[in-house]
Structure 1
Amino acid sequence: MFTRRTLSKLLAALPLAPATALSQGRPPLSRIAFGSCANQSMAQPIWEAILAYRPDLFIFARDNVYGDFSTPDGENLKRAYDAARTIPGYARLRETVSHLAIWDDHDYGLNDGGVEFTHKARSKELFLEFWNVPAADVRRQREGLYEARIIGPEGMRVHVILLDVRWFRSPLRITDQRGAPGKERYLPDPDPSKTMLGPEQWAWLAEELRRPAEIRLIVSSTQVLAEGHGWERWGNFPLEKQKLVDTIRTSGAKGVVFLSGDRHIGALYRETPADLYPLYEATSSGLNMVYWAAKEAGPNRLGALYAAANFGVVEIDWWERRLLLALRDEGGSVRRSVEIPFDTLGIAT
């Protein structure tokens, strides 16, 4: 029997297996933490609560530093990463806890940026360097930073899919009424030529979803299910959001849950598409960036927004066959949560 401390040490010591392997020799994941929006210029006390939680895996879900830049050398982003290296809790988690990372706009280099960002190749170089990505890693050979890992033995496999919603994403449709509720920055764009992921990443995602796994955590730096606001979200491209749902349905993948960030607020969401099990989303943001005055409609939100520093957790009880999504505050206390039976997500016995 593994103790929690022993399990964390084992996971931290071993490299995560690529998606082509099943990691059969590793204990199953039961405590996954994630978070986003960590400004290196501000205090980050929340790492103590995250470390005390003792996650088996931590997912750096977006804006892991704030380093927007407009020069070819990316010097401002480089300085941001250098500063992050000196933050004790941040560094200790990277050293002791198995982790994965994906970027968003502020560690991509351009606020709300997408395919149009001129210096994205430089920001990718700096990302790969900071996260110690091996020379043979496939992300060094292809466009963007999307990747996936399958962790755990057969029957207890967690498939973590990290989407890159920056490198290929089409320009957004600017609002006609800036600041108005539901139209704050952007409007839905029905243009069928617009894309969130680009053709290559879409094909990759469809293939990933056909791999055998019990639970699939799809990490999108921008919100997937959230409705009722005009900030960045998949709903900015409604045809692309529908394509995502259709891709899940067509693949036959069960156990899909979305993890997101971006908003400087925390929230939980649920949506039930036609001919598919309910989809849940946990948005955790920010680790130290907070939109205290947040107020917005939430037609598919579960409960109220949580507008204070937070991190998200996914707790999996393989024997009771249930999954818990929760948001924890700076002291580690649970502030929002929803329990989801495996059967609800279509996960086979």
Structure 2
Amino acid sequence: MFTRRTLARLMAAAAVTATPALSQNRPPLSRIAFGSCANQTMDQSIWDAVLSYRPDLFLFCGDNVYGDFNSADAANLKHAYEEAGKVAGYSKLRDTVSHLAVWDDHDYGLNDGGVEFAHKAVSKELFLDFWNAPATDVRRKRDGIYDSRIIGPPGMRVQVILLDVRWFRSPLKVTDQRGAPGKERYLPDPDPAKTMLGPVQWAWLAEELRKPAELRLIVSSTQILAEGHGWERWGNMPLEKQKLIDTIRASGAKGVVLVSGDRHIGALYRETPADLYPLYEVTSSGLNMVYWAAKEAGPNRLGALYAAANFGVVDVDWWERRVVLALRDDGGNTRRSVEIGFDTLGITT
């Protein structure tokens, strides 16, 4: 006989690993929460606020543990997952709330790491085991951990696309002026041979965006739209950032919203590409890893940075035809938000 805890874990895992057809038969999502950067050695009381929000779905957007390692046994990453499993709020959310996850560099195993990381196959198996991916999960048979789900009935479908911006990503161009504002660590690199996603994942993304859905959340562990800083971001490979925009446009996909983490700050962004509706991005980071002294230019940022512990939310009102992107603090209070009408995102149904 299953214990209540075991049954709850099985139910949550089943909701996450459901086939697209089963996912479409679920009630429409209206309360989606997400976050990144949760150091397993530090206080994680923010989970109380996340659970009080009562999300229909939670998205783990990377740095879900901090377990950098440089040996084939991946001992530090294994230990990090073991410690994370002991965090009460973290475990309660994983046991009781439907969730999806993607990694960033510190649960990938190498700070700012990409294609060059020698032990990524080991970290992939540890990731999939921690997130209870079944033996039949397609991610166990292909490179990378990119994934996608469509949840909700026709007319109220949310597609969640989780990009892997680590496994295939080319090396970044190192700054010529380390620490200088806007050039802190990396510089934009126009080399057309460099890639964020790799050809197979790019082709997969184009196909996913052509599937029917009303609202689409593209989750990238690193920021997509943010400008004005020299840390990791898609702007470090400007041709790849433009390719993402072009791929969205060419697919005809409406209702795309961008979700990211990584930066140890929270922020909202907007950019309006040519011949496309405005793209909005909400960055939520960190759940407990915070860059309190953050200060940076934000030419396409909406309002100020929020440099304190935070989680993000996507509130969808299907009847009022609007979505609210917001950042909430560790008490559950809204600190930054933007309301977007469906028409603004090209959603016509």
Distance 1:243 1:251 in 2: 12
Structure 2 match to 1:323: 323
Question: Residues 190-269 of structure 1 correspond to what in structure 2 (within 5 A)?
Answer: 190-269=190-269
Deviations 1:302-345 (A, max 9, x none): 00000000000000000000000000000000000000000000
Structure 1 residues 124, 343: CA separation in 2 closer, same or farther (over 3 Å shift)?
same
Could you tell me which amino acid in structure 1 is paired with residue 230 of structure 2?
G
Whether the 8 Å contact between 2:62 and 2:102 is mirrored in structure 1 is yes
Gaps of 5+ in 1: 1-7
Q: Which runs of 4+ in 1 moved over 4 A?
A: 8-11, 17-20
Distance 1:169 1:13 in 2: 29
Distance 1:315 1:304 in 2: 21
Could you tell me which amino acid in structure 1 is paired with residue 86 of structure 2?
T
Deviations 1:47-71 (A, max 9, x none): 0000000000000000000000000
Are 2:149 and 1:162 aligned? no
What SS does the corresponding residue of 1:294 show, helix, strand or coil? coil
Whether the 8 Å contact between 1:285 and 1:311 is mirrored in structure 2 is yes
Whether the 8 Å contact between 2:234 and 2:241 is mirrored in structure 1 is yes
Structure 1 match to 2:4: none
Shift of 1:13: 7.4
Could you tell me which amino acid in structure 2 is paired with residue 174 of structure 1?
V
Deviations 1:190-226 (A, max 9, x none): 0000000000000000000000000000000000000
Could you tell me which amino acid in structure 2 is paired with residue 294 of structure 1?
A
Whether the 8 Å contact between 1:155 and 1:213 is mirrored in structure 2 is yes
What SS does the corresponding residue of 2:23 show, helix, strand or coil? coil
Could you tell me which amino acid in structure 1 is paired with residue 243 of structure 2?
K
Structure 1 match to 2:23: 23
Shift of 1:26: 1.1
Deviations 1:211-259 (A, max 9, x none): 0000000000000000000000000000000000000000000000000
Structure 1 residues 266, 11: CA separation in 2 closer, same or farther (over 3 Å shift)?
farther
Shift of 1:10: 12
Whether the 8 Å contact between 2:9 and 2:94 is mirrored in structure 1 is no
Deviations 1:14-55 (A, max 9, x none): 523656436332100000000000000101010000000000
Report the RMSD for the aligned CA atoms in angstroms: 1.5
Structure 1 residues 306, 198: CA separation in 2 closer, same or farther (over 3 Å shift)?
same
What SS does the corresponding residue of 1:150 show, helix, strand or coil? strand
Shift of 1:12: 3.7
Are 2:174 and 1:174 aligned? yes
Whether the 8 Å contact between 2:46 and 2:287 is mirrored in structure 1 is yes
Structure 2 match to 1:4: none
Distance 1:122 1:70 in 2: 11
Structure 1 match to 2:276: 276
Whether the 8 Å contact between 1:11 and 1:57 is mirrored in structure 2 is no
Whether the 8 Å contact between 2:13 and 2:132 is mirrored in structure 1 is no
Whether the 8 Å contact between 1:234 and 1:240 is mirrored in structure 2 is yes
Could you tell me which amino acid in structure 1 is paired with residue 280 of structure 2?
Y
Relative to the length of structure 2, the TM-score reads 0.96
Whether the 8 Å contact between 2:9 and 2:95 is mirrored in structure 1 is no
Could you tell me which amino acid in structure 2 is paired with residue 94 of structure 1?
R
Identical-residue share of aligned pairs (%): 80
Relative to the length of structure 1, the TM-score reads 0.96
Whether the 8 Å contact between 2:109 and 2:123 is mirrored in structure 1 is yes
Question: Residues 122-133 of structure 1 correspond to what in structure 2 (within 5 A)?
Answer: 122-133=122-133
Could you tell me which amino acid in structure 1 is paired with residue 29 of structure 2?
L
Gaps of 5+ in 2: 1-7
Deviations 1:139-171 (A, max 9, x none): 001000000000000000000000000000000
